[in-house]
A and B are shown apart, each in its own frame.
Chain A
Amino acid sequence: MPRPGFVLEVDRSTPPMLFWHGERFSLERLPADRSRVIYPPEPLEGLRDVEGAISHALENPIDMDPLRALLRPGMVLTICFDDVSLSLPKMRRPDSRQRVIEAVLDLAAEAGVDDVHIIAALGLHRRMHDHELRHVLGDRIVDAFGPIGALYQHDAEDHENLTVVGTTDHGEVLEINRRVAESDLVVYANVNQVAMDGGWKSLVTGVASYRCLSHHHNPESLRNTRSLMDRHHSALHHSIWRLGAVLRDQGPPVFQVETTINTDAFPSPFDFLSKREWEWTARDRATYLATSASLNRLPRRAARKIMHSIEAPYAMTGINAGFTESVHERTLADVYRQHLVEVEGQTDILTMGIPFISPYNPDSIMNPILVMCMGLGYMFNMYRNKPLVREGGVVIMTHPTYRDFNPVHHPSYIDFFDEVLTDTTDPVVMSEKWEKKYAEDEWYRHLYRTGNAYHGVHPFYAWYWGAHGQQWAGRVIIVGGDPSTVRRLGFTPASTMADAFELASDVVGRSPTISHLHVPSVLVADVT
């Protein structure tokens, strides 16, 4: 029976805490008697019979007819799936998307459906490389559908293949992939790693156009998204659900298949990552020392390569299929079962280690903008009710924040860093002054459509993701980051954790209270 998450009050006997530091780790001692560490629940047990669970879900969907009954010869069927931004780290093969889609395809074949398209719902993310498609879908699907052009990736700039489905009462236009809009049935296979994912967000962002996405991917919505992990209090999700309603009422029927996974993210040599520090055995300590020492000695590129090659032994904890809205409520319950930790009250300081990966750099470089996005966007938003840190408090992150960029995946990020961030770090100002230029840049569009680059506007979205955290925090400090890079992000650089606490004292006084978000493994703090 896995233990639930809990909050540890730090006293003098508490060992130093593990912090991510990009591709590396550090152990930091937190001040006794005023610090607390929030530990995630241990990974839940996975489903014993995954294949059985999948076919059960397809046969017994929620608020919808069984998939078998929806399939008929001659129909136009489109299967969409989450792109490479999920899961993090990547799932060991076979991926749950492959399992679901293979099951769906089997049913379709039985029913004699032959017009099937499989579309990677990547929104404005980068196109997946061939090997990534194979990793997610398996070779059977790629080899069968790839060569005949029935497996492809959504293109938000292919205006001929986009169509407007309808408009919400807020004036938001739902413009999505034409094939999806014109299908007789759309099946969506997702991986619901965190509470932000899934529901209408899958389709409404995954196969939408830039115009459609800009209704909710903007500073205004993101500042009123409290939090990203709580869709009922998120302006972003409200907008998406409104658009979802348009899709529900005016679009094709959608058969949503949502899978949840546990938090078993790291294979054996990295076991210590998911253990609680005071429970480390001699062997864990030795592995930690060995791993940490060798990562520290390796060049950054090599360390990065090692970390990105990790394949997670996740287990599927639940699968729900059927009508999107009903399915997603169940999925959320499954996700929260794994992630939720009850925490009492806020503190003055929130500390967190930023890992080597974020949803926007699978197999790539965590550039400075993504550090901001990961820290203030994702990790800061790992809460329900209210943030772990009080308004005006200090967020301390650990990450090397080097000025490294991947020119293939993040070309517009490089220019964003040099051009936009030297001008402003204010999401509102940049959205008015710069966003259009990047969104409509022909070269970025070319690289997004034909290469493997994120859309030109994507660095803005990554930055907006942190808008709420940026507004909330009185100061953001990055420990161990490259000072000039950190300053350009609008944050304060510190060389050690002690320095960071010293710098924080200007804002929160000499003896602040501290919460440490213990990652790896995901948790959502339910702050009362």
Chain B
Amino acid sequence: MIAEQLAGRRVAITGATGFVGTALVERLLRGAPDCSLVLIVRDGRRTSAARRTEREILANDAFDRLRSELANTEEDFEAMCRRRITTISGDVGRDGLGLDESGRNELRTVDTIIHSAATVSFDSPLDQAVEINLLGPSRIAATCAELGITPHLVAVSTCYVAGNRRGTAPEELVSEGPFDIGLDWRREVESARRLRGDAEADSRRPERLSEFRKRARSELGAAGAPALAAKTEQIRERWVRDQLVTAGRSRAASVGWPDAYAFTKALGEQALVESRGDVPVSIVRPSIIESAWAEPRPGWIRGFRMAEPVIISYARGLLREFPGVPEGTIDVIPVDLVVAAIVAVAAQGPEAPFITQVASGGVNPLRYRTLVDHVSSWFTANPLYDNHGQPIVVPEWRFPGRGRVQTQLSRAKAVVTRTEALLQALPLRGNRAEFSATLETRRMEIERALEYVELYGLYTECEAIYQVDNLLTLWDQLDPHDREHFCFDPRVVDWAHYVNDIHLPSIIEHARVKSTPGRTRTTDRSERLRRQVLDPRRQVAAFDLENTLIASNVVESYSWLATRRLDPRERLRYTVRTLAETPGLLRMDRRDRTDFLRHFYRRYADAPIDQIEVDVDAMLTGLILRKSFPEGLRRVREHRAAGHRTVLITGALEFNVAGLRPLFDEIVAAKMSIRPDGTLSGEMETVPPTGEARAQILAEYCDSEGLSLSECVAYADSSSDLPLFEAVGFPVAVNPETRLATIARKRGWLVENWGTARGFGKPLLPIGPVLSEGERRRSFR
């Protein structure tokens, strides 16, 4: 009896926060009531290991069954967990598992260690895969040796360590099989570490750095030095990672494994065998683990696994083709079968078979074509719906070669990328800019499809058959009670039932896709965000001016004021001259806004301030209101009505925005000094508030008023306002330009498209109307 064998044992588990680990913890708690568990959990960035156990393991719905079973007993679920579970902080990626003294003491008490921690992502960087997958198991063995203990170590590996091969894959070490090419795992570790160092060094070469900077700039625009620096560093890190991912993939392929995961796992087994010392080792190799067949409930799954993204992409009509051998076997195994096998192996102790494969291909194969047919007919009967509430018709796969699919997708990606680049270069705003964001989504979908094909294509083309002789022997030894409670016989699975009634409904529920008709809720989403933004709990609403509240800019207001007192001939001359200067001004503005403003405001030098003050009154109706976005002005007042402070932060000159005074509690604008003779000096008193300075200004304002930045709402239109957006709790992108539209979409910010009042023509040139004297001369009779 498994439960009896495990009674009184202390079982340590790594990787308990993962898919298999969670199921394992659940099964041991429920099925072996007299064993106790030591969970080796890594500290989170902000949460302790113990907290992670509570939040990431025990809060999972896998435990719902046990929780309800224990609900009305003497010891409820929480009490039982307290009694039976000890969490210690540890990391299999570090030597000595990163254990502290109490952790080590705890580990000394265990009888069995089940190692299920791994980086399962097929595209992890090589060095990371090496540290965790390759070195993890032998580190545990080494730690045991160091502590002078010899618990039974059950290491979870994968069937795919067998590599790319046709025919049967027996339950033996790869290094002992006929296809071994004699790799030395130590050299692989060493070179992976060196690769990391090389990539890090390479990424810091000047030409690389300047390329990263350029890319950051094109992505963010003039977002200010700090934001650009952060972005550049992010791009650099990403680049290093990509290098290592590629390195892993090519290294794995070069020595006959589908990817770095299987490759490092295979070497990990080898390393473990070589360095296990006196520790008795058993290896359990599952194939592709998917949702549960029966325990803790049919369809239970944690996280988005390998097949799900592919299936969902297919159901959404994004994957029009997927390579694969139709008569090949997809070796899927439900998670509860894997867990039961692990428990059975652990229960048997050191006498258990050295390697146990848990796979379906040999005894109960699921053909690729059968799977595709099931999936396709299921989604025909239960389609997903697109944003317009229309059912999506699933494509028919014709099982082309991998190369063809890749070519198709790459071509599509090239077209979309080029169009996107073209759109980025155009000065688009608002709805049109959002089109480019849609295009980006499309590109990302294609990229993802391409990635799936590259990563998983190999698995659908794999024709290896994994033998399960040891598993079946183990099965034959079980008594009927254990067979009922710890079923791991792959022959019990009825694939039609599993795919149609268990797996697909479960992943649809998990995938948060639209599975009911009717219009999408994007409007609801904006509405919800709008309500949040206008919630009385918010404290400050900060607004940019140009293109956020009015469709105008500093050049226009200057022109309006400058031409107001000119006679027609001078006006013409002024207009021609300004038009000629425009490209230069635009260039300067794009390079550095503050410099541009400073340079441009020199033109105000010598203007008499009293005259300007008279003229700006007229400018409110003459220019600003005409070019205003009525919805924007309404929003400002809605914020006021909700009791928020309203702040205008603009690079425009203070006297030019005086007309907007009644809308705002605080106006932060550029200030120009006035000479004693009452004329403007053309020189700024302070740096015009642009770019990252705005975030700073708002932070200082909040600080001095005792308000919280996280309760601030910020409205702006340009990616140069990113620092401001990132500083506040509620960013709102108004008429975003292409870059900002993309960013806003990605980060789920509220986007508002405000326009000037319709039907009211905008003057072609911002020229002030002729003054009344002129008017008088013109129309006097």
Point out residues on A near B: beta carbons under 8 Å: 93, 130-131, 134, 139, 143, 300-301, 365, 402-408, 411, 414-415, 418-419, 437, 441-443, 445-447, 450-453
Chain B hits for A418, CB < 8 A: 631, 634
- Asked whether A407 lies within 8 Å of B662 as measured between CB atoms, the reply is no
Check A407 against B626 for contact (C-beta < 8 Å).
Answer: yes
Query: Chain A binding site: helix, strand, loop or mixed by DSSP?
Result: helix
The residue of chain A having its C-beta at the shortest distance from the C-beta of B631 within the complex is A418
Q: Find B775's partner among A130, A403, A443, A451 (CB 8 Å cutoff).
A: A130
| CA of A522 to CA of B637, assembled, Å | 41
User: B631 to chain A: which residues have CB within 8 Å?
Assistant: 418
In order of increasing CB-CB distance, the 10 nearest A-B pairs are A404-B759, A407-B757, A446-B662, A414-B630, A451-B621, A405-B757, A301-B761, A408-B625, A408-B621, A130-B772
B195 at the interface (CB under 8 A from A): no
Task: Bits for B743-781, please: 1 = Cβ < 8 Å to A, else 0.
Answer: 000000000000011111100000000001001100111
Within the complex, the shortest CB–CB distance from A76 to chain B, in Å, comes to: 28
Cβ contacts A to B, 18 pairs, < 8 Å: A93-B781, A130-B772, A131-B779, A134-B779, A143-B776, A300-B759, A365-B760, A403-B758, A403-B759, A404-B759, A405-B630, A405-B760, A406-B757, A406-B760, A407-B628, A408-B621, A437-B641, A450-B620
Q: Is the CB of B761 within 8 A of A447?
A: no
Min CB distance A59 to B, Å, is 28
Interface residues, chain B, CB within 8 Å of chain A? Answer: 617, 620-621, 625-626, 628, 630-631, 633-634, 637, 641, 659, 662-663, 756-761, 772, 775-776, 779-781
Residue of A nearest to B641 (CB): A437
Residues of B within 8 A of A408 (CB): 621, 625-626
Q: Are A443 and B759 in contact (CB under 8 A)?
A: no
Interface centre among B631, B663, B759 (most CB of A within 10 A): B759
C-alpha gap A10/B106 in the complex (Å): 105
Residues of A with C-beta under 8 A to B776: 134, 139, 143
Give CA–CA (A143, B773) in the complex, Å. Answer: 10
A414 to B628, CA, bound (A): 12
Cα–Cα, bound, A451→B757 (Å) = 17
Q: Which residue of A lies closest to B630 (CB)?
A: A414
Residues of B within 8 A of A404 (CB): 757-760
Residues of A within 8 A of B621 (CB): 408, 447, 451-453
What residues of chain B lie closer than 8 Å to A402, measured between beta carbons? 758-759
- Chain A neighbourhood of B756, CB < 8 A: 407
Residue numbers in A under 8 Å from B780 (CB-CB):
139
Bound together, the chains give a CA A99 to CA B626 distance in angstroms of: 34
Q: How distant is the Cα of A450 from the Cα of B628 in the complex, in angstroms? A: 17
What CA separation (Å) do A139 and B617 show in the bound complex? 23
If the complex has contacts A407-B626, A443-B663, are A450 and B759 also in contact, measured as CB distance less than 8 A? no
Docked complex Cα distance between A521 and B633 (Å): 39
Q: How far is the CA of A414 from the CA of B641 in the complex (A)?
A: 18
Do B625 and A131 touch across chains, with their CB atoms under 8 A apart?
A: no
A404 and B620 alpha carbons, distance in the complex (Å) = 20
Question: A404-B759, A405-B757, A451-B621 are contacts. A411–B633 as well, Cβ < 8 Å?
Answer: yes
Q: A447 to chain B: which residues have CB within 8 Å?
A: 621, 625
Separation in Å of the A362 CB from the closest CB of chain B? 15
Whole-angstrom CA separation of A303 from B756 in the bound complex: 20
For the complex formed, measure the closest distance between the CB of B531 and the CB atoms of chain A, giving whole angstroms. 15
What's the minimum C-beta distance from A480 to chain B, rounded to whole angstroms?
A: 16
A411 touches B760 (CB 8 A): no
On chain A, the residues within 8 Å of B775 by CB distance are 130-131, 134
Indicate if the CB atoms of A450 and B617 lie closer than 8 Å: yes
Expressed in whole angstroms, the minimum distance between the Cβ of B647 and any Cβ of chain A is 16
Chain A residues, CB < 8 A from B617: 450
**Nearest CB of chain A from residue B217's CB, rounded to whole Å:** 36
Question: How many Å lie between the Cα of A450 and that of B641 in the bound state?
Answer: 22
> Considering only CB atoms, which chain A residue lies closest to B761 in the complex?
A301
Complex: how many Å from CA A365 to CA B756? 14
**A414 contacts which chain B residues (CB < 8 A)?**
630, 634, 757
The residue that B759 contacts in the complex, of A134, A365, A411, with Cβ under 8 A, is: A365
Cβ contacts under 8 Å, A130 to chain B: 772, 775
A451 touching B625 in the complex, CB below 8 Å, given contacts A131-B775, A443-B633, A443-B663: yes
Please name the residue on chain B nearest to A411 by beta carbon: B630
Cα–Cα, bound, A134→B630 (Å): 30
Closest to B760 in A: A406
Please name all residues of chain B whose beta carbon is closer than 8 Å to the beta carbon of A441 when the two chains form the complex.
637
CA distance A405 to B620 in the complex (A): 17
Whole-angstrom CA separation of A72 from B711 in the bound complex: 66
Find A411's partner among B625, B659, B781 (CB 8 Å cutoff). Answer: B625
From B778, which residue of chain A is reached at the shortest CB distance?
A131
